Amino acid sequence: MISYAGVNLTVPSVQFASWIASNISLSDLIQHNPAPYLNKLLTSMPYPDQRQRPIKVSSLWWPQGASRWAVGHFIATESKLTALRAICYPYSAAQPLIMNDGLNNVTTNMWMLPPRPLAQKPINSTDLTKWLIPRSETWRADSPAGIGEPVYLLTLVDDRFFWWEKPSSVIINVGTTTWATLIAAIGSALGVSITTDTIQAAYLKPTAALIQFLPYLPLLLDLAAFAVGMHCVRGYDGSVKLQNATNAIAAQANNLSSFKVDRVGGGLLAIDVA
C-alpha cells in the first residue's frame, strides 16, 4: 500500500505500466532542471547527473548528498488527485508518503509537484470496452456508475529539491571562517540543523575557491562535506548530517545486520578484507 497525504495511491499493474510505455512514454521526460544546476555547475557536481535517471512509476529514490533530492513517482486517479490538492494546497507543508508492504514501511515527508496527465479523457461507463487503460486501474468499485477515471503521474520530491531555491546569505571570510561555522551557516540558510561527525583539524579552513559556489547552497554543502572527508546524508525523518567514512561503514554494517529479509537480487561486492 502506498499513501500520500493520507490518500491511498494506485499501484499500477504490469499491464498499466506497459500501457504507459506504449502511449505516453516517460523515458524522455525531464522534470527537474534548476537553472544553475544545468548552466554552469554541472562540472562541479560531485554526483552523477540526477536528470539521467529514468522515471519509474510507483517508486521512491532516496539519494545521498545535498545537491540531489529524493524523487517518487506514483499514479493517482483524478478523484484522488482532487483530494490531494485539497490537502497539499496551499503549499505550506510537506505531506507524509507511506510505502507499506504489509510488514514493513518507510515514511517520509514529500512535496507534490504538478501532476502530469497520463490519460485525461474520462469515459462513459457504458463504453468501457473502448477504454484503453486496463479497467482495473481506473474502475471505481465504489462508484455506482463504475466510471473510469483519468489518471495522472504524481511526482513527489523531498526538501532538497527546494534547497536550490533558497537564497544564500552565507559568506566566507577566508582565514577566519571555519568549516564548522560554514556548515552551520549553510544549515541556517537552508532552515535545517546539520549535524557533523568530528571535523579533523587537518582539513584547515575553507578557502576562497568555495566562494564561487556561495549562491548555490546544496552544492556548497556537498563541496564543504567532501572538503572535510564527509558525505551529506538526509534521513527519512528530515535530519541532515555530514558523515565520515568510518561512521558510514559502521552504519552500513549495522543496516546489513538489521535486515534479515529475503534478498531477491544483487549482493555484496568482494571488497571486504575479512
Beta-carbon count within 10 A of 43 CB: 5
Closest approach of Cβ 90 to another protein, in Å?
29
Among 8, 11, 23, 238, binds another protein (CB under 8 A): 11
Q: Does 238 interact with another protein (rule: CB under 8 A)?
A: no
Stretch in the footprint of another protein (CB under 8 A) among 114-122, 126-134, 181-189, 208-216: 208-216
39 or 92, CB closer to another protein? 39
Contact (CB, 8 A) for 223 and 44:
yes
What residues from 146 to 165 belong to the interface with another protein (CB under 8 A)?
none
Q: Does 267 interact with another protein (rule: CB under 8 A)?
A: yes
Closest approach of Cβ 169 to another protein, in Å?
11
**Which is it for strands 2-4 and 95-100: parallel, antiparallel or unpaired?**
antiparallel
Check residue 62 and give left, alpha or beta (phi > 0: left; psi -120 to 50: alpha): beta
Among 56, 122, 132, 193, binds another protein (CB under 8 A): 56
How buried is 264 (Cβ within 10 angstroms: 0-12 exposed, 13-18 middle, 19+ buried)?
exposed
Query: Would you give the DSSP letter of residue 75?
Result: E
Among 23, 47, 93, 193, binds another protein (CB under 8 A): 47
Closest approach of Cβ 136 to another protein, in Å?
11
Mapped onto helix, strand or coil, the DSSP state of residue 258 is helix
Q: Residues near 215 by Cβ (< 8 Å), separated by ≥ 6?
A: 36, 168
Q: Does 265 interact with another protein (rule: CB under 8 A)?
A: yes
- Residue 142: alpha-carbon gap to chain centroid: 32
Q: Does 259 interact with another protein (rule: CB under 8 A)?
A: yes
Query: Would you give the DSSP letter of residue 201?
Result: G
Q: Does 2 interact with another protein (rule: CB under 8 A)?
A: yes
127 or 272, CB closer to another protein? 272
Closest approach of Cβ 228 to another protein, in Å?
8
- Residue 178: alpha-carbon gap to chain centroid: 30
Stretch in the footprint of another protein (CB under 8 A) among 24-32, 115-123, 155-163, 197-205: 197-205
Q: Does 49 interact with another protein (rule: CB under 8 A)?
A: no
Among 13, 120, 193, 198, binds another protein (CB under 8 A): 13
DSSP 132-197: -S-HHHH--TTSTT-----EEEEEEE-THHHHTTS-------TTT--HHHHHHHHHHHHT--EEEP
Among 38, 42, 132, 174, binds another protein (CB under 8 A): 174
